[in-house]
Amino acid sequence: MRENLHRFFRAARGVGVHVSPAESIDAMRAVAKVGISDRAVLRDALLLTLAKSQDEKLALGDCFDLFFSQPEPRQDQPEAANDDAAQGEDQPPSSGSAREAGEAQPPEGLGPLAQMLLSQDRNAIAAAIASASGAASLSDIRYSTQRGIFSSRILDAMGLQRLRDDLDELTATNPALAERLRAALDALREAVRDTVSQGLALYAREEAENLRNEILRNAPLARIERRQVAEMHALIRQIARRLRERYSKPRKRQRRGHLDVRRTLRRNAAWGGVPFLTAWKRKHRERPKIVAICDVSGSVAQVSDFFLLLIHSLHEVVDDVRSFAFSSHLIEVSEILEKNSPEEAMAEIMSKVGFGSSDYGSSLVDFEKDFMSTLTPRTTVIMLGDARSNNLDPRADILRRISERSKRLVWLNPEGRLAWGFGDSEMPRYATFCTVVRQCATAQQLERAVSDIVATYQ
Protein backbone atom coordinates (compact mmCIF):
# COMPACT_ATOMS: atom_id res chain seq x y z
CA MET A 1 0.00 0.00 0.00
CA ARG A 2 2.83 2.37 0.82
CA GLU A 3 4.16 1.96 -2.70
CA ASN A 4 0.73 2.78 -4.05
CA LEU A 5 0.48 5.87 -1.90
CA HIS A 6 3.85 7.10 -3.12
CA ARG A 7 2.71 6.69 -6.69
CA PHE A 8 -0.48 8.51 -5.81
CA PHE A 9 1.54 11.43 -4.42
CA ARG A 10 3.43 11.62 -7.69
CA ALA A 11 0.18 11.60 -9.60
CA ALA A 12 -1.12 14.33 -7.28
CA ARG A 13 1.88 16.50 -8.08
CA GLY A 14 1.06 15.85 -11.70
CA VAL A 15 -2.36 17.48 -11.37
CA GLY A 16 -0.81 20.50 -9.73
CA VAL A 17 -1.35 19.76 -6.05
CA HIS A 18 1.74 20.61 -4.07
CA VAL A 19 2.61 17.60 -1.98
CA SER A 20 5.59 18.31 0.21
CA PRO A 21 7.38 15.54 2.12
CA ALA A 22 5.79 16.78 5.35
CA GLU A 23 2.36 16.53 3.81
CA SER A 24 3.00 13.06 2.50
CA ILE A 25 4.03 12.00 6.01
CA ASP A 26 0.81 13.47 7.38
CA ALA A 27 -1.16 11.65 4.73
CA MET A 28 0.57 8.38 5.59
CA ARG A 29 -0.23 8.84 9.27
CA ALA A 30 -3.82 9.68 8.46
CA VAL A 31 -4.17 6.64 6.23
CA ALA A 32 -2.65 4.46 8.93
CA LYS A 33 -5.35 5.73 11.29
CA VAL A 34 -8.38 5.42 9.03
CA GLY A 35 -7.32 2.29 7.20
CA ILE A 36 -7.91 1.47 3.58
CA SER A 37 -10.99 -0.68 3.64
CA ASP A 38 -13.45 2.17 3.10
CA ARG A 39 -12.66 3.98 -0.10
CA ALA A 40 -14.83 7.03 0.72
CA VAL A 41 -13.08 7.56 4.03
CA LEU A 42 -9.68 7.07 2.43
CA ARG A 43 -10.57 9.65 -0.18
CA ASP A 44 -11.71 12.12 2.47
CA ALA A 45 -8.57 11.57 4.52
CA LEU A 46 -6.25 12.15 1.56
CA LEU A 47 -8.20 15.21 0.48
CA LEU A 48 -8.00 16.61 3.99
CA THR A 49 -4.28 16.18 4.37
CA LEU A 50 -3.00 16.90 0.87
CA ALA A 51 -5.24 19.47 -0.77
CA LYS A 52 -5.06 22.99 0.59
CA SER A 53 -7.72 24.79 -1.38
CA GLN A 54 -11.03 24.11 -3.01
CA ASP A 55 -9.49 23.93 -6.49
CA GLU A 56 -6.87 21.49 -5.30
CA LYS A 57 -9.59 19.38 -3.69
CA LEU A 58 -11.44 19.08 -6.97
CA ALA A 59 -8.28 18.23 -8.91
CA LEU A 60 -7.15 15.74 -6.30
CA GLY A 61 -10.58 14.13 -6.10
CA ASP A 62 -10.53 13.51 -9.86
CA CYS A 63 -6.99 12.23 -9.60
CA PHE A 64 -8.00 9.86 -6.80
CA ASP A 65 -10.88 8.45 -8.82
CA LEU A 66 -8.68 7.96 -11.87
CA PHE A 67 -5.84 6.47 -9.89
CA PHE A 68 -7.85 3.94 -7.96
CA SER A 69 -9.92 2.91 -10.94
CA GLN A 70 -6.79 1.18 -12.16
CA PRO A 71 -7.29 -2.52 -12.62
CA GLU A 72 -5.94 -3.51 -9.28
CA PRO A 73 -7.14 -6.49 -7.31
CA ARG A 74 -8.34 -6.48 -3.74
CA GLN A 75 -5.83 -5.27 -1.23
CA ASP A 76 -5.32 -8.44 0.74
CA GLN A 77 -3.60 -10.51 -1.89
CA PRO A 78 -1.63 -8.34 -4.27
CA GLU A 79 1.64 -9.05 -2.45
CA ALA A 80 1.36 -12.73 -3.15
CA ALA A 81 0.12 -12.25 -6.69
CA ASN A 82 2.85 -9.74 -7.44
CA ASP A 83 5.54 -11.98 -6.12
CA ASP A 84 4.24 -14.78 -8.19
CA ALA A 85 4.18 -12.70 -11.32
CA ALA A 86 7.55 -11.16 -10.58
CA GLN A 87 9.14 -14.54 -10.23
CA GLY A 88 7.53 -15.58 -13.42
CA GLU A 89 9.12 -12.67 -15.20
CA ASP A 90 12.54 -13.21 -13.78
CA GLN A 91 12.94 -16.76 -14.89
CA PRO A 92 10.09 -17.74 -17.14
CA PRO A 93 11.57 -21.02 -18.28
CA SER A 94 12.31 -22.52 -14.89
CA SER A 95 9.04 -21.38 -13.33
CA GLY A 96 7.22 -22.66 -16.35
CA SER A 97 8.87 -25.99 -16.13
CA ALA A 98 8.27 -26.18 -12.41
CA ARG A 99 4.62 -25.69 -13.00
CA GLU A 100 4.64 -28.17 -15.79
CA ALA A 101 6.20 -30.76 -13.56
CA GLY A 102 4.08 -29.98 -10.53
CA GLU A 103 0.63 -29.57 -12.01
CA ALA A 104 0.63 -31.08 -15.46
CA GLN A 105 -2.43 -29.10 -16.57
CA PRO A 106 -4.08 -29.64 -19.94
CA PRO A 107 -2.21 -26.88 -21.81
CA GLU A 108 1.14 -28.50 -21.21
CA GLY A 109 4.49 -26.88 -21.64
CA LEU A 110 3.14 -23.35 -21.67
CA GLY A 111 4.73 -20.28 -20.10
CA PRO A 112 3.16 -18.65 -17.07
CA LEU A 113 1.65 -15.82 -19.11
CA ALA A 114 -0.05 -18.19 -21.51
CA GLN A 115 -1.46 -20.18 -18.62
CA MET A 116 -2.67 -17.08 -16.94
CA LEU A 117 -4.40 -15.88 -20.10
CA LEU A 118 -6.00 -19.22 -20.80
CA SER A 119 -7.25 -19.64 -17.27
CA GLN A 120 -8.93 -16.22 -17.57
CA ASP A 121 -7.80 -15.30 -14.08
CA ARG A 122 -8.60 -11.59 -14.21
CA ASN A 123 -7.16 -10.73 -10.84
CA ALA A 124 -3.87 -12.39 -11.63
CA ILE A 125 -3.67 -10.68 -15.03
CA ALA A 126 -4.41 -7.29 -13.51
CA ALA A 127 -1.80 -7.84 -10.82
CA ALA A 128 0.72 -8.91 -13.44
CA ILE A 129 0.04 -5.79 -15.51
CA ALA A 130 0.42 -3.62 -12.41
CA SER A 131 3.72 -5.16 -11.38
CA ALA A 132 5.03 -5.16 -14.95
CA SER A 133 4.22 -1.48 -15.31
CA GLY A 134 6.13 -0.97 -12.10
CA ALA A 135 9.10 -2.83 -13.59
CA ALA A 136 8.85 -0.77 -16.79
CA SER A 137 8.69 2.37 -14.55
CA LEU A 138 5.50 3.59 -16.14
CA SER A 139 5.46 6.54 -13.75
CA ASP A 140 8.33 8.04 -15.77
CA ILE A 141 6.17 8.46 -18.84
CA ARG A 142 6.15 12.06 -20.01
CA TYR A 143 4.90 12.47 -23.56
CA SER A 144 2.12 10.87 -25.54
CA THR A 145 4.63 9.76 -28.13
CA GLN A 146 6.10 7.37 -25.59
CA ARG A 147 2.91 5.30 -25.40
CA GLY A 148 4.12 2.64 -27.83
CA ILE A 149 7.46 2.09 -26.19
CA PHE A 150 5.96 1.78 -22.73
CA SER A 151 3.33 -0.67 -23.95
CA SER A 152 5.95 -2.90 -25.47
CA ARG A 153 8.15 -2.64 -22.38
CA ILE A 154 5.30 -3.74 -20.16
CA LEU A 155 4.44 -6.63 -22.47
CA ASP A 156 8.08 -7.67 -22.55
CA ALA A 157 8.25 -7.58 -18.78
CA MET A 158 5.22 -9.84 -18.67
CA GLY A 159 6.97 -12.42 -20.79
CA LEU A 160 5.65 -11.78 -24.28
CA GLN A 161 8.62 -13.56 -25.82
CA ARG A 162 7.78 -16.79 -24.13
CA LEU A 163 4.14 -16.39 -25.10
CA ARG A 164 5.09 -16.04 -28.77
CA ASP A 165 7.07 -19.24 -28.65
CA ASP A 166 4.12 -20.95 -27.03
CA LEU A 167 1.85 -19.62 -29.74
CA ASP A 168 4.06 -20.92 -32.49
CA GLU A 169 4.18 -24.31 -30.89
CA LEU A 170 0.44 -24.44 -30.29
CA THR A 171 -0.41 -23.43 -33.83
CA ALA A 172 1.22 -26.64 -34.94
CA THR A 173 -0.12 -28.92 -32.22
CA ASN A 174 -3.44 -27.46 -31.07
CA PRO A 175 -4.88 -24.82 -33.45
CA ALA A 176 -8.09 -24.30 -31.45
CA LEU A 177 -6.22 -23.49 -28.29
CA ALA A 178 -3.87 -21.24 -30.24
CA GLU A 179 -6.87 -19.32 -31.51
CA ARG A 180 -8.10 -18.78 -27.97
CA LEU A 181 -4.70 -17.70 -26.84
CA ARG A 182 -4.37 -15.25 -29.71
CA ALA A 183 -7.71 -13.65 -28.82
CA ALA A 184 -6.64 -13.44 -25.19
CA LEU A 185 -3.37 -11.81 -26.26
CA ASP A 186 -5.25 -9.16 -28.21
CA ALA A 187 -7.35 -8.44 -25.13
CA LEU A 188 -4.16 -8.21 -23.09
CA ARG A 189 -2.62 -5.75 -25.51
CA GLU A 190 -5.70 -3.62 -25.21
CA ALA A 191 -5.61 -3.73 -21.41
CA VAL A 192 -1.95 -2.72 -21.43
CA ARG A 193 -2.65 0.13 -23.83
CA ASP A 194 -5.38 1.36 -21.49
CA THR A 195 -3.06 1.14 -18.53
CA VAL A 196 -0.44 3.17 -20.36
CA SER A 197 -2.96 5.81 -21.39
CA GLN A 198 -4.07 6.08 -17.82
CA GLY A 199 -0.47 6.35 -16.69
CA LEU A 200 0.03 9.12 -19.19
CA ALA A 201 -3.01 10.96 -17.85
CA LEU A 202 -1.78 10.54 -14.29
CA TYR A 203 1.92 11.19 -14.46
CA ALA A 204 2.61 13.23 -17.55
CA ARG A 205 0.24 16.09 -17.03
CA GLU A 206 2.65 18.28 -15.14
CA GLU A 207 5.40 17.98 -17.70
CA ALA A 208 3.12 18.52 -20.65
CA GLU A 209 1.53 21.52 -18.99
CA ASN A 210 4.89 23.08 -18.20
CA LEU A 211 5.99 22.67 -21.78
CA ARG A 212 2.78 24.09 -23.16
CA ASN A 213 2.88 27.05 -20.78
CA GLU A 214 6.47 27.76 -21.68
CA ILE A 215 5.57 27.88 -25.36
CA LEU A 216 2.51 29.97 -24.63
CA ARG A 217 4.44 32.45 -22.53
CA ASN A 218 6.74 33.22 -25.39
CA ALA A 219 4.21 33.17 -28.20
CA PRO A 220 3.32 36.54 -29.70
CA LEU A 221 -0.02 37.54 -28.19
CA ALA A 222 -1.24 39.18 -31.34
CA ARG A 223 -1.11 36.00 -33.36
CA ILE A 224 -2.54 33.60 -30.86
CA GLU A 225 -5.00 31.07 -32.19
CA ARG A 226 -8.60 30.98 -31.16
CA ARG A 227 -8.32 27.66 -29.36
CA GLN A 228 -5.44 28.95 -27.27
CA VAL A 229 -7.28 31.99 -25.98
CA ALA A 230 -8.83 30.14 -23.05
CA GLU A 231 -5.45 28.70 -22.08
CA MET A 232 -3.97 32.15 -22.36
CA HIS A 233 -6.60 33.51 -20.01
CA ALA A 234 -5.66 30.83 -17.51
CA LEU A 235 -2.01 31.74 -17.89
CA ILE A 236 -2.77 35.42 -17.35
CA ARG A 237 -4.66 34.57 -14.19
CA GLN A 238 -1.65 32.63 -13.03
CA ILE A 239 0.62 35.59 -13.72
CA ALA A 240 -1.77 37.88 -11.86
CA ARG A 241 -1.72 35.54 -8.90
CA ARG A 242 2.06 35.53 -8.86
CA LEU A 243 2.25 39.31 -9.02
CA ARG A 244 -0.33 39.59 -6.26
CA GLU A 245 1.63 37.27 -4.04
CA ARG A 246 4.80 39.17 -4.66
CA TYR A 247 3.51 42.67 -4.15
CA SER A 248 0.50 42.48 -1.85
CA LYS A 249 2.49 41.60 1.26
CA PRO A 250 2.16 44.30 3.86
CA ARG A 251 5.26 46.40 3.76
CA LYS A 252 7.62 46.16 6.67
CA ARG A 253 6.81 48.29 9.63
CA GLN A 254 9.37 50.87 10.56
CA ARG A 255 10.97 50.02 13.92
CA ARG A 256 13.66 52.66 13.95
CA GLY A 257 14.31 56.17 12.83
CA HIS A 258 12.53 59.22 14.22
CA LEU A 259 10.55 58.99 17.43
CA ASP A 260 6.93 59.91 16.97
CA VAL A 261 6.53 62.05 20.10
CA ARG A 262 2.80 62.57 19.89
CA ARG A 263 1.93 58.93 19.48
CA THR A 264 4.41 57.87 22.14
CA LEU A 265 2.89 60.25 24.71
CA ARG A 266 -0.62 59.18 23.86
CA ARG A 267 0.24 55.54 24.11
CA ASN A 268 1.86 55.94 27.52
CA ALA A 269 -0.74 58.19 29.08
CA ALA A 270 -1.73 55.36 31.42
CA TRP A 271 1.66 55.38 33.09
CA GLY A 272 1.78 59.10 33.66
CA GLY A 273 3.68 59.75 30.49
CA VAL A 274 6.61 57.51 31.39
CA PRO A 275 7.52 56.15 27.96
CA PHE A 276 7.40 52.40 28.34
CA LEU A 277 6.27 51.90 24.79
CA THR A 278 7.78 53.88 21.99
CA ALA A 279 6.22 54.69 18.68
CA TRP A 280 8.25 55.50 15.61
CA LYS A 281 7.46 57.59 12.63
CA ARG A 282 6.57 55.56 9.65
CA LYS A 283 7.30 56.22 6.06
CA HIS A 284 4.11 56.22 4.16
CA ARG A 285 4.25 54.04 1.10
CA GLU A 286 1.66 54.43 -1.55
CA ARG A 287 -0.05 51.87 -3.67
CA PRO A 288 -0.03 52.22 -7.43
CA LYS A 289 -2.72 54.17 -9.17
CA ILE A 290 -2.91 53.20 -12.78
CA VAL A 291 -4.52 54.76 -15.80
CA ALA A 292 -4.34 52.44 -18.77
CA ILE A 293 -5.01 53.72 -22.26
CA CYS A 294 -5.24 50.89 -24.77
CA ASP A 295 -5.42 50.78 -28.52
CA VAL A 296 -8.00 48.15 -29.48
CA SER A 297 -7.72 48.40 -33.24
CA GLY A 298 -6.77 45.49 -35.46
CA SER A 299 -3.63 43.66 -34.52
CA VAL A 300 -3.16 45.34 -31.14
CA ALA A 301 -6.58 44.34 -29.84
CA GLN A 302 -5.53 40.90 -28.66
CA VAL A 303 -2.60 42.26 -26.66
CA SER A 304 -4.79 44.97 -25.13
CA ASP A 305 -7.28 42.31 -24.16
CA PHE A 306 -4.75 40.33 -22.17
CA PHE A 307 -3.20 43.43 -20.73
CA LEU A 308 -6.52 44.77 -19.45
CA LEU A 309 -7.35 41.37 -18.03
CA LEU A 310 -4.07 41.32 -16.15
CA ILE A 311 -4.29 44.85 -14.81
CA HIS A 312 -7.83 44.34 -13.58
CA SER A 313 -7.01 41.18 -11.69
CA LEU A 314 -4.46 42.95 -9.50
CA HIS A 315 -6.96 44.33 -7.00
CA GLU A 316 -4.91 43.59 -3.91
CA VAL A 317 -1.82 45.24 -5.31
CA VAL A 318 -3.19 48.19 -7.15
CA ASP A 319 -5.37 50.75 -5.45
CA ASP A 320 -7.13 52.16 -8.37
CA VAL A 321 -7.23 51.30 -12.04
CA ARG A 322 -9.04 53.21 -14.71
CA SER A 323 -8.95 51.87 -18.22
CA PHE A 324 -9.66 53.55 -21.50
CA ALA A 325 -9.92 51.97 -24.89
CA PHE A 326 -9.76 53.62 -28.27
CA SER A 327 -9.29 53.10 -31.93
CA SER A 328 -10.70 56.19 -33.60
CA HIS A 329 -12.26 57.69 -30.47
CA LEU A 330 -11.79 56.96 -26.79
CA ILE A 331 -14.13 55.68 -24.06
CA GLU A 332 -13.71 54.59 -20.46
CA VAL A 333 -14.03 50.80 -20.05
CA SER A 334 -13.24 50.23 -16.35
CA GLU A 335 -16.82 49.42 -15.47
CA ILE A 336 -17.34 47.03 -18.38
CA LEU A 337 -14.26 45.11 -17.30
CA GLU A 338 -15.23 45.00 -13.63
CA LYS A 339 -18.75 43.74 -14.24
CA ASN A 340 -18.41 41.16 -16.98
CA SER A 341 -16.40 38.06 -17.61
CA PRO A 342 -13.25 38.69 -19.68
CA GLU A 343 -14.79 37.35 -22.90
CA GLU A 344 -18.00 39.33 -22.62
CA ALA A 345 -16.19 42.49 -21.60
CA MET A 346 -13.89 42.33 -24.58
CA ALA A 347 -16.78 41.69 -26.96
CA GLU A 348 -18.61 44.71 -25.58
CA ILE A 349 -15.58 46.95 -25.82
CA MET A 350 -14.93 45.85 -29.38
CA SER A 351 -18.51 46.55 -30.39
CA LYS A 352 -18.25 50.05 -28.93
CA VAL A 353 -14.88 51.27 -30.14
CA GLY A 354 -13.18 48.45 -31.98
CA PHE A 355 -12.91 47.88 -35.69
CA GLY A 356 -12.00 51.45 -36.52
CA SER A 357 -8.76 52.58 -38.04
CA SER A 358 -6.69 53.94 -35.22
CA ASP A 359 -6.37 57.68 -34.76
CA TYR A 360 -4.06 58.47 -31.86
CA GLY A 361 -4.47 62.22 -32.24
CA SER A 362 -8.21 62.44 -31.84
CA SER A 363 -8.23 59.78 -29.12
CA LEU A 364 -5.73 61.80 -27.12
CA VAL A 365 -7.93 64.85 -27.64
CA ASP A 366 -10.85 62.86 -26.23
CA PHE A 367 -8.80 61.89 -23.23
CA GLU A 368 -7.63 65.42 -22.52
CA LYS A 369 -11.14 66.80 -22.82
CA ASP A 370 -12.87 64.36 -20.45
CA PHE A 371 -10.43 62.50 -18.30
CA MET A 372 -7.38 64.69 -17.73
CA SER A 373 -8.56 65.18 -14.13
CA THR A 374 -8.06 61.48 -13.38
CA LEU A 375 -4.32 62.02 -13.46
CA THR A 376 -2.59 62.84 -10.19
CA PRO A 377 1.09 63.03 -9.30
CA ARG A 378 0.74 59.45 -7.98
CA THR A 379 -0.62 57.98 -11.20
CA THR A 380 1.25 55.77 -13.58
CA VAL A 381 -0.11 56.11 -17.10
CA ILE A 382 0.30 53.09 -19.33
CA MET A 383 -0.19 53.54 -23.06
CA LEU A 384 -0.52 50.34 -25.01
CA GLY A 385 -0.43 50.50 -28.78
CA ASP A 386 1.68 50.31 -31.89
CA ALA A 387 1.63 54.10 -32.36
CA ARG A 388 0.54 53.68 -35.97
CA SER A 389 -1.76 56.60 -36.52
CA ASN A 390 -2.47 56.26 -40.25
CA ASN A 391 -0.50 59.43 -40.97
CA LEU A 392 -2.95 61.56 -38.98
CA ASP A 393 -1.72 64.25 -36.58
CA PRO A 394 -0.27 62.36 -33.59
CA ARG A 395 -0.82 65.28 -31.16
CA ALA A 396 2.32 64.49 -29.21
CA ASP A 397 1.78 67.75 -27.31
CA ILE A 398 -1.14 66.16 -25.42
CA LEU A 399 1.05 63.24 -24.50
CA ARG A 400 3.56 65.72 -23.12
CA ARG A 401 0.88 67.23 -20.88
CA ILE A 402 -0.17 63.77 -19.72
CA SER A 403 3.41 63.00 -18.91
CA GLU A 404 3.79 66.23 -16.94
CA ARG A 405 0.71 65.61 -14.83
CA SER A 406 1.50 62.01 -13.89
CA LYS A 407 4.21 60.20 -11.97
CA ARG A 408 5.33 58.04 -14.84
CA LEU A 409 4.30 57.42 -18.41
CA VAL A 410 5.02 53.93 -19.71
CA TRP A 411 4.48 52.98 -23.33
CA LEU A 412 4.09 49.32 -24.18
CA ASN A 413 4.45 48.56 -27.86
CA PRO A 414 3.63 45.12 -29.27
CA GLU A 415 5.89 45.79 -32.25
CA GLY A 416 9.59 45.09 -32.19
CA ARG A 417 12.03 47.95 -31.74
CA LEU A 418 13.12 47.65 -35.36
CA ALA A 419 9.71 48.65 -36.70
CA TRP A 420 9.45 51.81 -34.62
CA GLY A 421 9.55 54.90 -36.78
CA PHE A 422 8.99 53.14 -40.06
CA GLY A 423 5.85 53.62 -42.15
CA ASP A 424 3.20 55.48 -40.21
CA SER A 425 4.69 54.64 -36.80
CA GLU A 426 4.95 57.72 -34.62
CA MET A 427 6.80 55.94 -31.85
CA PRO A 428 9.96 58.11 -31.86
CA ARG A 429 7.91 61.29 -31.47
CA TYR A 430 5.92 59.86 -28.61
CA ALA A 431 8.92 58.23 -27.01
CA THR A 432 10.41 61.61 -26.10
CA PHE A 433 7.73 62.14 -23.48
CA CYS A 434 7.65 58.62 -22.07
CA THR A 435 9.51 57.57 -18.96
CA VAL A 436 9.93 54.08 -20.38
CA VAL A 437 9.15 52.53 -23.73
CA ARG A 438 9.30 48.78 -23.99
CA GLN A 439 8.31 46.05 -26.32
CA CYS A 440 5.45 43.94 -25.09
CA ALA A 441 4.46 41.15 -27.42
CA THR A 442 4.40 38.00 -25.31
CA ALA A 443 2.92 37.02 -21.98
CA GLN A 444 6.36 36.97 -20.45
CA GLN A 445 7.13 40.52 -21.56
CA LEU A 446 3.72 41.55 -20.29
CA GLU A 447 4.45 40.10 -16.88
CA ARG A 448 7.82 41.84 -16.67
CA ALA A 449 6.37 45.16 -17.74
CA VAL A 450 3.57 45.09 -15.17
CA SER A 451 5.88 43.78 -12.50
CA ASP A 452 8.27 46.70 -13.07
CA ILE A 453 5.45 49.22 -12.93
CA VAL A 454 4.18 47.88 -9.62
CA ALA A 455 7.67 47.52 -8.21
CA THR A 456 8.40 51.23 -8.52
CA TYR A 457 5.84 51.84 -5.80
CA GLN A 458 7.27 49.37 -3.29
Partner 1 sequence: MADQKASTSIEAVESGLAAQGYIASRQIATAVYLSQQIEKPILVEGPAGVGKTELAKAIAAWRGMKMIRLQCYEGLDEAKALYEWKYAKQLLYTQILKDKLGEVLGGAQTLHAALDQLHDFGDVFFSKEFVEPRPLLQALEQPGGCVLLIDEIDKSDAEFESLLLEILSDFQVTIPELGTVSAITPPTVILTSNSERDLGDALKRRCLHLHIGFPEQRLEERIVESRVPGISQTLRRQMVGFIHEIRSLDLKKLPSVSETIDWARVLVLLQATELDTDIVKDTLNVLLKYEADIEAASPQVTTFIAKAARSNVFG
Residues 35-94 that bind partner 1 (CB under 8 A): 35-38, 40-41, 44-45, 47-49, 51-54, 57
Select the residue interacting with partner 1 from 316, 319, 320, 348 (CB under 8 A): 316
What span, in angstroms and rounded, lies between the C-alpha atoms of 137 and 32? 26
Nearest approach in angstroms of CB 65 to partner 1 is: 16
Q: Which of 5, 23, 84, 408 binds partner 1 (CB under 8 A)?
A: 23
Query: Which of these ranges, 34-42, 176-184, 187-195, 335-343, lies near partner 1 under the rule CB under 8 A?
Result: 34-42
Alpha carbons 450 and 432: distance in angstroms, whole number:
21
Angle at CA of residue 108, ends 103 and 112, nearest 5°: 75
Using the rule CB under 8 A, give the single segment among 32-40, 123-131, 206-214, 339-347 that binds partner 1: 32-40
Residue placing its CB nearer to partner 1 in the complex, 13 or 57? 57
Show contacts with partner 1 in window 376-435 (CB under 8 A): none
Q: Name which of 37 and 373 has its Cβ closer to partner 1.
A: 37
* Residue with smaller CB distance to partner 1, 29 or 266: 29
The piece of 26-34, 88-96, 203-211, 343-351 that touches partner 1 (CB under 8 A) is 26-34
Asked if 29 is part of the footprint of partner 1 (rule: CB under 8 A), the reply reads yes
Q: State in Å, rounded, how far the first CA of the chain is from the last one.
A: 50
Minimum CB separation of residue 309 from partner 1 in Å reads: 19
Q: Which of 167, 155, 61, 71 is nearest to 111 (CA)?
A: 167
SS3 273: coil
Pattern 248-287, partner 1, x by CB under 8 A? xxx-------------------xx--x-x-----------
Minimum distance of partner 1 from residue 378's CB (angstroms) = 23
Give the C-alpha separation, 61 to 51, whole Å.
Answer: 9
Beta-carbon contacts of residue 289 (< 8 Å; ≥ 6 apart):
318, 319, 320, 321, 376, 378, 379, 380
Q: Candidates 33-41, 152-160, 210-218, 289-297 — which segment interacts with partner 1 by CB under 8 A?
A: 33-41
Cβ proximity to partner 1, 37 vs 69, nearer residue: 37
Q: Is the dihedral of CA 86, 87, 89, 90 positive or negative?
A: positive
C-alpha span between 255 and 366 (Å, rounded): 47
Pairing of strands 320-326, 330-332: antiparallel
DSSP state of 13: H
Hey, which residues between 160 and 199 contact partner 1 (CB under 8 A)?
none
Distance CA(106)–CA(357), nearest Å, equals: 84
> 151 with 189: CB under 8 angstroms?
yes
Site residues (vs partner 1, CB under 8 A): 18, 20, 22-23, 26, 29-30, 32-38, 40-41, 44-45, 47-49, 51-54, 57, 245, 248-250, 270-271, 274, 276, 316
